[in-house]
Amino acid sequence: MIESHLPAYIALTFVLFSVLIPVFGLWRSELSQPIAVLGSGIAAAFSIYGFINYLSEGSIRYFFGGWEPPIGIEFVYDGLSGFFVLVINVVAFFVLIHSHHIAKREFPGKEMPYYALAMLMMLGFNGMILTGDLFNLYVFLEIASLSGYALIAIGEKQAPYAAFRYLIIGTAGGTLYLLGVGFLYTVTGTLNIIDMTAMLPMLYESNAVFAALILMIVGIGVKAALFPMHGWLPDSYTYSSSTSAALIAPIGTKVAAYILFRIILWLFGIEITDAIAPLSYIVGVLACIGILYGSIMAIAQTEMKRMLAYSSVSQIGYIIMGLSLANPWGFAGALLHVLNHAIMKACLFMISGQLRYKEGHSDISRFDDSFRKKYPWTMASFTIAAISMIGLPPLAGFFSKWYLVLGTIDNSNWLFLGVILVSSLLNAVYFFRVLEKVYMMNPDKGQKEASDAKRNEPSASMLWPTGILALSLIVIGFANAVIVGILLNIFPL
Amino acid sequence: MDLSFVPLLAILVSLVAVVPIMLSSAKPNLREFWTILAGVIKFGLVLLLLPVALQGDSVELHLVDLAPGIPLALKADPLGVYFAIIASGLWIFTSFYSIGYVRGAGEKKQTRYFASFAVCLSATIGIAFSANLITFLLFYEMLTVATYPLVIHNEKKEAINAGRKYLAFTLTAGLLLVAASALVYHYTGTLDFTPGGVFTDVELPHTAMLLLFILFLGAVGVKAGIMPIHGWLPAAMAAPTPVSALLHAVAVVKSGVFAITRVVGYVFGVDVMGDYGLNDILIVLAGFTIIVASLIAFNQDNLKRRLAYSTVGHLSYIVLGVALLTPIGMTGGIMHIAAHATMKITLFFCAGAIYVNLHRTEISNLDGIAKVMPWTMGAFAVGSMGLAGIPPINGFFSKWNLALGSLEGDMIIPVIILVISGILNVGYFFPILYRAYFKPGKGLEKYGEASPLMVVPIVITATLSLLFGLFPNLFFNFFDLAVDISASLFNTGSP
């Protein structure tokens, strides 16, 4: 039966391909990328199949080697993990297709190690999501982080510094998480999430549990770039190669957000989380500050990748704010935003990669209206993704905002409501600024290049992934009722 | 005959037309043919819905669910059909006029212009036929985005700044609408436009209701040009004149007042409005806007800006009519949607014809032009006197109903405001006519009338203004329609 082994297959696919790539890559370096695409494609297919299977058959608990927990390790494929795995694997598949030319341009000759590391990182991400064991989660987190540091270090001259900074902060975060797990282990005697969930209500208002919770939130908050622990993110995304940024930005912080969902809503439950101090509200306020801070900083940037990086700080805030609301609408809005933002950010980072590939830079202040002629399809995709980021209906981005707004109202949380509205306006500022540059002649310079600029679109392997992702934003917009219907069923309370 | 898909088709026809318009950008005549064709088809489709509307019925269509329990739904009810007829009918004239204008003025990027125009009309008809707040919001934002390229059309610094201002106002408004809709959904569990309102079974604290209404007012008041949130409208006059004519005198701003009618009549309901005293806010704001906008209009030497402030004032006539919460006042307000549309579009057309023909934009330069542009200025005279409320032009008729409506509600101040505003209207329009007709002009010898593509639409819209004034029911039984709509909003409580 393939269904019962699905959780393992998804992770093992990446293990297999992280070995296959060096094997074939040493023979023919140019094979690395197609093999990586194949691997992530298979994993994406498993994820899609798995999620469909989940919808009809329900969750799967997979015990490795038949050893039942607490002795053995288990993978849990339930609605939440299935959804996240689906999102990250499908998005990664598109990004890896897109990476073909960029890899050749930005790090020639390093394709083999690069794609092998990418597979390892995906293994780490998938493992973090699927595992049912808190310590095992830490192991996967380190796999993902270490390969992630390496991927980020491949890039511009400053990239190694950015990666090193991320390494220091990220390791600290990972260690805090591990410390929290240690606390929990001492009071419960188990590392299995399902076991522990059953025990924690007996430890209501325990100080050890409270300390563990804070340590875990802070530790994972670093990985999720929750304000004020976001410091590593802008440099990492800006200086790493376009492909790394496009691969890590849409999914890296999402996986960390997944852990927060798992910890706060499943493992502890919102009541224990808020038993001693209103932690969920504090997390929500931090998310709000991050939303505003990220948006304002994004406005101040002229480099497109850096702008998108700050925008990521802001958008992850939406997701965590939805989590902190701990009601069905907020939850649905946050998870829908996981999907939307993964697609939007992948699309936008890929476009910044395309521009770097063709123009040699992605400096917004040097954009002009010749782009409209040179890259009509790229810019059309950008426009769709940007409008979705701003949150105008009927694009996907509007609907995640709509559910988040409903969530804040259900909690009578007017502060958060105000933050969502203000931040949408700030989004509009930094995206319309780019659109203005691209679609209008510069009134100070007068019309110069636009009329005689020739079409100069990048090749199909770049255009199609961005185009498909952009179009999917429209599809998701109209299909969001179905998705949200599923998501509301996943909500644990 | 099954009409249920007609509203959808009426919306889509101009959206689909964007494709052939873009593809035939190298052949201007073919491209403009598509615009005209889409306009005629759209108008025809809307007219198909008229008999149903005249019976007081609606055509409904539920498409996909946009959110759990909230469908993307269209409903062509009498008010929607009324608005759709005005917008789609005037689009045909504007299209002909646009051809004359953009070619006469040698505008760049004409394809983008006609394509955006088509999208705007789709959005406007969508607004007219929205059955619930989410659908409405979708088209409302679509209108915002589609109008933007038209506002910044000439891509000069002034236009780009106007575009930014426009987006700042309208996007903020859109966000307020998101919040307001979400609150309505939270309190009532529905977002459908219901005659009599959705709050009939819901008791809310007074402050909550008040804040909700203010949110709505901010959301739809921007496009309706209510002071002090009207600032984008005069700035948006940087757009080409046909845009100002159709969008900033008819489609966009009327979507705003249309939305106010929806909010007052179909979200809050007249009873709730009265019980919570919400209409008082609206009356005060509208009265203030009418007077102040008219006073500012005096000060404008630029013809289009004077017309813009006049628009701000006249939009508030409609708001006032709705806010009176009396059947006759409501009728007057709804009538004024049509009346102001035909008259103001005439005036903007005239301003555009003068600009293309004589390259003059300032009122102080208009001396003696009636001699060279007799048809244009004749139409201008009809439109401006109509706006001032002089019978028998149609502005008088709606104003008369507004005055009756306020007396019906035992209110005297609105009547005084209407009278003062009428005088002010005469005050700011008469100098233009005086200069054009009675002052000797200079340097006009070599000029004649503008191109027939422009003059014919001008004369037609002016004639329409006159005919509607004399026979309100001549076309489409417009007066009856307005009366029926207004009646449907007031008889919801009693069996």
State whether A410 and B186 contact (CB < 8 Å): yes
Q: Describe the crossing of helices A111-130 and A134-153 by its angle, rounded to 10 degrees.
A: 160
Judged by a CB distance cut-off of 8 A, whether residue B156 touches chain A is yes
State the virtual CA torsion across A253, A255, A258, A263 in degrees, nearest 10.
-100
Distance CA A96, CA A112 (A): 13
A488 to chain B nearest CA, in Å? 10
Cβ pair B291, B335 in contact under 8 A: no
What is the 8-class DSSP label of residue A230? Answer: -
Cβ pair A190, A200 in contact under 8 A: no
Cβ pair B307, B434 in contact under 8 A: no
Nearest to A36 by CA among A45, A47, A49, A25: A25
Q: CA of A404: which chain B residue's CA is closest?
A: B182
Instruction: Confirm whether B208 is domain-assigned.
Output: yes
Judged by a CB distance cut-off of 8 A, whether residue A260 touches chain B is no
Q: Find the domain containing B194 and state its range.
A: 6-490
State whether A410 and B134 contact (CB < 8 Å): no
> How do residues B235-255 score in pLDDT, each as one tens digit?
888 888 888 888 777 888 889
Q: Within a 10 A sphere around the Cβ of A41, how many other Cβ atoms?
A: 18
Structural domains counted in chain B: 1
Judged by a CB distance cut-off of 8 A, whether residue B172 touches chain A is yes
A424: left (phi over 0), alpha (psi -120 to 50) or beta: alpha
Residues of B in contact with A421 (CB under 8 A): 175-176, 178-179
State whether B138 and A393 contact (CB < 8 Å): yes
State whether A481 and B68 contact (CB < 8 Å): yes
Q: Within a 10 A sphere around the Cβ of B407, how many other Cβ atoms?
A: 16
State whether B182 and A405 contact (CB < 8 Å): yes
Question: Distance of alpha carbon B150 from its chain centroid, rounded?
Answer: 16
Distance CA A464, CA A461 (A): 6
Judged by a CB distance cut-off of 8 A, whether residue B67 touches chain A is yes
Instruction: Confirm whether B89 is domain-assigned.
Output: yes
Instruction: Confirm whether B385 is domain-assigned.
Output: yes
Q: Which residues, at least 6 apart from A85, have a Cβ–Cβ distance to it below 8 Å? A: A10, A47, A50, A51, A77, A126, A129, A130
From the list B144, B157, B172, the residue facing A425 with the nearest CB is B172
Q: Which residues, at least 6 apart from A345, have a Cβ–Cβ distance to it below 8 Å? A: A249, A250, A308, A311, A312, A315
Instruction: Confirm whether B339 is domain-assigned.
Output: yes
State whether B67 and A403 contact (CB < 8 Å): yes
Distance CA A209, CA B155 (A): 61
Question: Distance of alpha carbon A425 from its chain centroid, rounded?
Answer: 23
From the list B160, B172, B175, the residue facing A440 with the nearest CB is B160
| Residue at token pair 């019309």 | A447
From the list B64, B141, B172, the residue facing A478 with the nearest CB is B64
The one-digit pLDDT tens for each residue of chain A (493 residues) are: 677 888 889 999 999 999 999 998 888 888 889 999 999 999 999 999 999 999 998 888 888 888 887 778 889 999 999 999 999 999 999 999 999 888 888 888 888 999 999 999 999 999 999 998 999 999 999 999 999 999 999 888 888 999 999 999 999 999 999 999 999 999 988 888 888 888 888 887 788 899 999 999 999 999 999 988 888 999 999 999 989 999 999 999 999 999 999 999 999 888 888 888 898 999 999 999 999 999 999 999 999 999 999 999 999 999 999 999 989 999 999 999 999 999 999 999 999 999 999 888 888 888 888 888 888 899 999 999 999 999 888 899 999 999 999 999 999 899 999 999 999 999 999 998 888 888 887 666 655 545 567 788 888 888 999 999 999 999 999 888 899 999 999 888 7
Instruction: Confirm whether B352 is domain-assigned.
Output: yes
Distance CA A462, CA A97 (A): 8
- DSSP letters along A115-146, please? HHHHHHHHHHHHHHHHB-BHHHHHHHHHHHHH
Q: CA of A447: which chain B residue's CA is closest?
A: B155
Instruction: Confirm whether B94 is domain-assigned.
Output: yes
Tell me how many residue pairs between chain A and chain B have CB atoms under 8 A apart.
79
Residues of B in contact with A415 (CB under 8 A): none
Interface test with A, best of B15, B19, B23, B66 (most A CBs within 10 A): B66
Q: Which residues, at least 6 apart from A198, have a Cβ–Cβ distance to it below 8 Å? A: none
State whether A393 and B183 contact (CB < 8 Å): no
Q: Within a 10 A sphere around the Cβ of B459, how many other Cβ atoms?
A: 18
From the list A394, A432, A482, the residue facing B167 with the nearest CB is A432
Residues of A in contact with B186 (CB under 8 A): 406, 409-410
Cβ pair B341, B462 in contact under 8 A: no
State whether B67 and A402 contact (CB < 8 Å): yes
Nearest to B32 by CA among B111, B121, B87, B104: B111
The ipTM value here is: 0.88
| Residue at token pair 């043919």 | B33
Q: Which residues, at least 6 apart from A191, have a Cβ–Cβ distance to it below 8 Å? A: A70, A133, A134, A135, A136, A181, A185
State whether A387 and B176 contact (CB < 8 Å): no
